[in-house]
Amino acid sequence: MKKIFQLLIILGLIMTPFFTSAHVKWFTNVVPQKETIENILSPLFMGLALTAAIVLALLTLVIPRTSQWAKVKKLDDWLSGFRKYSRYILKYGTAAALILQVTNGTLFAPEFHLTNTIALILTWAAIGFLLIPHHFSTKAGAVILLGLFVYVTMQNGLFHMLDYGYYVAIIGVLLVGSTKLEKVGFPFLYLGTGLSLCWVAVEKWVYPSMSLDIVANHGVPTFGFSPAAFVVMAAFIEFVVGYLLVVGILNRVVGFVVTVIFITTTMLFGMTEVIGHFMIHIVLIIFIIEGVSFYNPPIKLHKTKADQFVFVFLNFIFVLATFILIYYRFA
């Protein structure tokens, strides 16, 4: 079982495409063309969906055993020692991300250019408040950040901003710090980040032409697969990562793997990738440190291994179908 688990991890790293978690809108000017639902639900798509559901369900049987390994326990204990710094990492990491963005004339993402003088001033004000080591100052910075997010949403539309829903989760964590609701902050961060990753993944299925343009013009390796099949698989990997964060399976490993992926993408996409995903790096570092120490994941509602297997299998299919239908309807 140990060798099988290690093999799965290695295969996942090898087969994970470099642009899996890239926001395709940042790197292409191709006019989006919606794919037909018949072509989206291709035999390849259906086969991968079934395979992913089975593999995820099997993880409910494998992960508890790996957590008993001596080396894994030692690593968990070592990482747990950094939990006291998690909120500081998020607070100052958010400030650093905003500084990186604003000095490059953007806010939240490379596609949102910061041209309004008042918005620019408020962004620097939010940065200043976040850098002050006091929870009242942190809340002030979070309130300003929330106002800026609403402003950008009004400029670009709610549907577009769902790609960056994790910022709402980040703001929520900053707001509830040192309050009675502090314990719900990080679970909300897990949920918000996971759902954002799932949402962005669906874009690659509904608008594959943009991803195909990136593959063609940025030299993205397809590992011998056709570009169309590669895009479908890349989106599945990203969707699965988001789902794992929401359900509460393998969070520390997922955080590490995805962080490595994001670092490698800078070799293809450069500074745009750094600016766009710096905040995600901060969040994933927190995931690596925290694990599921504070999180009562949905899978824990089911006590037996058989129930957990069935829950993850059916829930993944349901969540996948729901995301595709909602995105396709409103895209």
Neighbours of 164 (CB within 10 A): 25
CB 240 within 8 A of CB 56: yes
Q: Is the pLDDT of residue 146 over 90?
A: yes
Q: Is the pLDDT of residue 210 over 70?
A: yes
pLDDT band of 277, cuts 50, 70, 90: confident
38 or 20, higher pLDDT: 38
Rg for the chain, CA atoms, rounded: 20
Segment among 57-71, 165-179, 253-267, 307-321 with least mean pLDDT? 253-267
pLDDT of residue 95: 95
Q: Is the pLDDT of residue 295 over 50?
A: yes
Q: Answer whether 0.75 is exceeded by the pTM.
A: yes
Q: In whole numbers, what is the pLDDT of the chain averaged over residues? A: 81
Q: How far is CA 143 from each of CA 57, 79, 276, 280, rounded to the nearest angstrom?
A: 40, 31, 22, 20
Q: Is the pLDDT of residue 218 over 80?
A: no
CB 166 within 8 A of CB 282: no
Q: At what angle do helices 86-102 and 117-131 cross, to 10 degrees?
A: 150
Q: Is the pLDDT of residue 7 over 60?
A: no
Ranges of H-type helices in 218-304: 227-247, 251-269, 271-290
pLDDT of residue 140: 95
